[in-house]
A and B are shown apart, each in its own frame.
Chain A
């Protein structure tokens, strides 16, 4: 018994010693201070080599110090410390680029806190699957990184990321790109992009972004007003949005892919429609022309009450897709002050008609212009096949362009804000 007690004690002490010695100094021990954390990775077509990779490296001391004071991190032009630093390299691949950057940066690059991948439009159009595959294979890359396509080169784009309300660029990305109330772009993550690019019933999309270089309100008049006059607020390209801000990067719309290559873009309104059809829409404001005063607007906060009902029928090898949307609206502004609160059905019909047309236009664009099933209707069509072999023989991507859509929008106005009856005004 004594022998047993002794041996248990000895073994326990030995194990504890072994753990203490080896775990505290094992091969994978890393001091947090010895690592450099990129928050964004930019990919573009290289000139000196195949790929141009840009890293936006976090300066933790500046971030921790609120981005100002003497907290170090590089120092900015306005006397405040930069919360991040940009480094660009032309490289044969992502990982060899990291090796090259490690020749300059004193700390080891660790990608586990990277929040966004920014891909240039030029590279996206050339094809990005080799990089997506490398990112998926990498243990450090997070699957919930946002994936963006930039109209401008990522090195330039990332230089313009100067969050005003956030000292932490990482939080800025999460708040900007992950919010559920801005629907001019879709919350697209790396894992979702990867899954969509591998399946044969859906094609991937990415968030479209760019730099808005306007410095003063005088430039707003030139910002394509003629092209956009009188249209809905979501029709702008990222660089054309009539906004003047110190914050230069803008997100608006989506990049559409087919077979790993970018084939076009959807603007903000089309992105809203896309989200409605895929059931990812939360809520946002829509401005509709007044039914009786077309020069005035009726603005509603529209939310999706239920996930869309999608039914697919195959007829002579052609898919017929029925989409039923159930939407709910709240009046937020009636510029004409007509008493729509008492007769909401007028604006319900008008709004549902406009939304239906916008959705139909967007879907036509996916079939005729892109030939890319970004909404993933293939998932409903494959249910018509009993085996994978039959489904693969059918070859959905080839048939998508023949697809016909029947969109129905059910719209109910529920609330009126704090005014229950518009009383009109003197003019």
Chain B
């Protein structure tokens, strides 16, 4: 398959694509993280994260205005030539590689604990990897369109779970109102804007989406949808799980789903959760994996990406076994990905955009002279 720059897809597909990239962490760890950060005020910390990410996204989109349908790699080339393009490609590829490796390992471990306790990890992981590789063979169009079909079902499942725990909710679980304190809410809330780091992919989408207006619309809509989902998930989780027990479950939403029971017949809703969660995580992994390969290919100037899928799948599979345990994966995720992710997604992208803007202005000035 050739590089797919000729493919175009609509805003809805793009919104579902970006939203899923950001929101999958709700199912994996996000709600517990907010409680660990600010205890009963975790939901306020989540709002702070959203506000910080919104401000940074707005600045980035304003800066992007001059580049219309160029992606971040093209912009890096404008800013610093081939060298900066390669550096940027390496940074993005590495970032997406880390995300893919950590999530596939964690997701496989989660699946092993929840549903497949006797299966070897490699067996569980290989299933997901096969799914990812096949999806990448089918290409971006198939991936994105599949998002548009599946995401509404995931949203329905998510809403159902959130409503299902209503009987467990207690408003007093939000007290003391400021949780571990305003300092924690602000500082950790800001750092956790890293949960929006997948917005980085937005700046790889322009060639597939079209003009600046469409990028802005997709960016803000996906952001709003994600922010609402992340904040409500944190709020509902804290309402249903009094502090400090909310810090205990390693799969918080799964645990919450286990609490849902309406009468004698309507129980064991976690089957729905596993379905929702597996779809969301598989789509997430497919997306990060595809763009990792895509970015690598574009950076290296390769015409075809299909031949790269299998080697990258093998590398991801091998790298996923590097962390010694599930606890180590959780530690990496907490201490690195959701702590410094914002630097790559917002600061680095911002610097590239700023440098390219300056370079463009200088060139324009020279031309006019």
Contact = CB atoms under 8 A, between A and B. Distances in A.
Contacts, number: 88
A388 B242 CA distance: 13
Nearest to A7: B137
Contact of B137 (A11, A18, A22, A27): A11
B172 A380 contact: yes
A387 B264 contact: no
A354 interface: no
Contact of A139 (B113, B178, B268): B113
Most B-side CB within 10 Å, residue of A144, A178, A194: A144
Interface string B109-132: 000011111111001000100100
A18 B120 contact: no
Given A26-B116, A379-B170, A387-B179, A144 B261 contact: yes
B264 A201 contact: no
Contacts of A174: 264
B244 A390 contact: no
The secondary-structure label for the interface of chain B is loop
Interface of A: 7-8, 11, 15, 18, 22, 26-28, 136, 139, 142-144, 171, 174, 178, 191, 194-195, 198-199, 201-202, 379-380, 382-383, 385-391
A199 B115 contact: no
A388 B116 contact: no
A28 B261 contact: no
14 contacts: A18-B130, A28-B115, A28-B118, A198-B248, A199-B244, A202-B242, A382-B176, A383-B176, A385-B175, A386-B176, A386-B177, A387-B181, A388-B176, A388-B243
B267 interface: yes
3 tightest Cβ-Cβ pairs between the two chains A and B: A379-B172, A27-B119, A383-B175
A380 B175 CA distance: 9
Contacts of B241: 195
Contacts of A387: 176, 178-181
B343 interface: no
Nearest to B255: A143
A386 B178 contact: yes
B42 to A, nearest CB: 11
Contact of A388 (B119, B180, B267): B180
A272 B39 CA distance: 34
A202 B172 CA distance: 12
Contact of A11 (B117, B120, B134, B179): B134
A26 B126 CA distance: 13
Given A195-B241, A199-B242, A389-B181, A27 B116 contact: yes
B258 interface: yes
Contacts of A8: 138
Interface in B211-264: 241-245, 248, 255, 258-259, 261, 264
Given A382-B175, A388-B40, A388-B180, A139 B244 contact: no
Contacts of A191: 258-259
A27 B116 CA distance: 8
A20 to B, nearest CB: 13
Interface residues of B, number: 39
A385 B245 contact: no
A86 B138 CA distance: 56
A37 B138 CA distance: 45
A171 B241 CA distance: 28
Given A8-B138, A143-B255, A201-B242, 5 more contacts: A26-B116, A28-B117, A387-B178, A387-B179, A388-B243
B176 A143 contact: no
Nearest to B120: A27
Contacts of B172: 201, 379-380, 382-383
Interface string B134-176: 1001100000000000000000000000000000001011011
Contacts of A382: 172, 175-176
Contacts of B138: 8
A194 B249 CA distance: 12
Nearest to B260: A144
Nearest to A391: B176
A195 B255 CA distance: 12
A139 B116 CA distance: 11
B176 A27 contact: no
Given A15-B130, A178-B264, A199-B243, A388 B39 contact: yes
B156 to A, nearest CB: 24
A27 B180 contact: no
Most A-side CB within 10 Å, residue of B113, B134, B172, B267: B172
A389 B39 CA distance: 11
A202 B138 CA distance: 55
A201 B264 CA distance: 30
B243 to A, nearest CB: 7
Contacts of B123: 22, 26-27
Given A178-B264, A387-B179, A198 B245 contact: yes
A417 B181 CA distance: 56
Contacts of B119: 26-28
Given A27-B123, A174-B264, A195 B245 contact: yes
A407 to B, nearest CB: 20
Contacts of A26: 116, 119, 123
A391 B39 CA distance: 12
A139 B112 CA distance: 11
A202 B354 CA distance: 55
Nearest to A178: B264
A388 B130 contact: no
A199 B245 contact: yes
A8 B134 CA distance: 10
A44 to B, nearest CB: 27
Contact of A28 (B116, B137, B248): B116
B181 to A, nearest CB: 5
